């Protein structure tokens, strides 16, 4: 199965565009397996997103430009953005605030809401400092259920990213097991999949049991790849990641 996600599948107004990926393929679940919700944010400087709660969400903050000062109910205060990304495992309940720094480059990136394996897990906040802002022409594993050197989700979920150079071809990474579902997301640039599916910024493709070839055109492209096991155990009632139907 190959199903395109277009810009019209996003909802919301203002600086945050919200994607419930399940609505592209289902009338019963707003998520796909453990992938509950993806927010593409573009927020101007000197903006404060006031302290607010999360319950039973695992939220990965993946900001490519700009910086924000993060504060939370676990006592952490840290500048995130660029090479510094963050995973908030809300569990029972968790509060955080983000203050976008400066008046120059806006904060642009993804807030990724992953469904936890179980309800009411222990809250936890983890930061990861990437060696390089981009992984050039090679998929970089950012999170998985098992790899302790990256972020670790409680559910059967994997997250990769890659910057593919212009006029370059790529394939999906080797997956940890069969019968998984992938969501390819274009964060920047344009690509063509299997020669006939054109994707540009803020578009994506749901992939299941299909071979895929990715070709960049006359410009570089930044890609994010989500992998989920739709048959694995998940909790679907998280505050933001949960099913909204």
pTM > 0.85: yes or no: yes
Q: Is residue 237 a part of any domain in this protein?
A: no
Q: Is residue 233 a part of any domain in this protein?
A: no
Q: What is the largest CA-CA distance in the chain?
A: 49
Alpha-carbon distance values, 176 to 8, 123, 148 (Å) = 32, 27, 15
Q: Is residue 23 a part of any domain in this protein?
A: yes
Domain that holds residue 8: 2-228
Task: For the chain, 245 residues long, give each residue's pLDDT as a single digit of tens.
Answer: 999 999 999 998 789 999 999 999 999 999 999 999 999 999 987 888 889 999 999 999 999 999 999 999 988 899 999 999 999 998 888 899 999 887 778 999 999 999 999 999 999 999 999 999 999 999 999 999 997 678 999 999 999 999 999 999 999 999 888 899 999 999 999 999 999 999 999 999 999 999 999 999 999 999 999 999 999 999 999 999 999 99
Domain count, the chain: 1
Q: Is residue 96 a part of any domain in this protein?
A: yes
Q: Is residue 241 a part of any domain in this protein?
A: no
pLDDT value of residue 151: 94
Q: Is residue 236 a part of any domain in this protein?
A: no
Q: Is residue 93 a part of any domain in this protein?
A: yes
Which of 22, 104, 101, 97 has its CA nearest to residue 61? 97
pLDDT value of residue 148: 64
For the sheet containing 181-188, what is the strand order?
Answer: 2-5, 203-208, 181-188, 221-228, 157-164, 140-144, 151-152
What six digits make up the tokens of 44?
Answer: 């101007």
Q: Is residue 239 a part of any domain in this protein?
A: no
Tell me the CATH number at 38: 2.60.120.10
The three-state DSSP-derived secondary structure of the chain is CEEEECHHHEECCCCEEEECHHHHCCCCCCCECCEEEEEEEEECCCCEEEEEEECCCEEEEEEEECCEEEEECCCCEEEEECCEEEEEECCCCEEEEEEECCCCCCEEEEEEEECCCCCCCCCEEEEEECCCCCCECCCEEEEECCCCCCEECCCCEEEEEEEECCCCEEECCCCCCCCCEEEEEEEECEEEECCCEEEECCEEEEEECCCCEEEECCCCEEEEEEEECCCCCCCCCCCCCCCCC
8 Å CB contact between 31 and 37 = yes
């Amino acid at each position: 199965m190959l199903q395109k996600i277009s810009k019209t599948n996003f909802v919301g107004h203002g600086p945050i565009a919200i994607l419930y990926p399940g609505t592209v393929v289902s009338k019963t679940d707003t998520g796909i397996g453990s992938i509950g919700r993806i927010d593409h944010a573009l927020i101007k400087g000197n903006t404060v997103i006031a302290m607010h709660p999360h319950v039973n969400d695992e939220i990965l903050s993946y900001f490519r430009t700009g910086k924000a000062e993060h504060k939370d109910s676990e006592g952490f205060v840290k500048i995130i953005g660029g090479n510094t990304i963050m995973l908030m495992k809300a569990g029972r309940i968790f509060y955080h605030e983000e203050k976008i720094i400066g008046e120059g480059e806006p904060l642009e990136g993804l807030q990724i809401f992953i469904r936890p394996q179980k309800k009411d897990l222990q809250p936890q906040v983890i930061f990861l400092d990437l060696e390089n802002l981009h992984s050039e022409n090679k998929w970089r594993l950012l999170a998985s259920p098992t790899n302790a050197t990256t972020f670790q989700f409680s559910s059967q979920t994997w997250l990769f990213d890659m910057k593919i150079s212009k006029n370059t071809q790529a394939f999906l990474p080797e997956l940890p097991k069969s019968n998984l579902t992938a969501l390819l997301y274009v964060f920047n640039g344009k690509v063509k999949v299997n020669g006939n599916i054109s994707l540009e910024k803020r578009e994506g493709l749901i992939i299941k049991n299909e071979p895929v070839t990715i070709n960049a055109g006359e410009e570089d492209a930044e890609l994010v790849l989500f992998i989920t096991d739709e048959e694995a155990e998940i909790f679907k009632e998280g505050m933001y990641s949960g099913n909204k139907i």
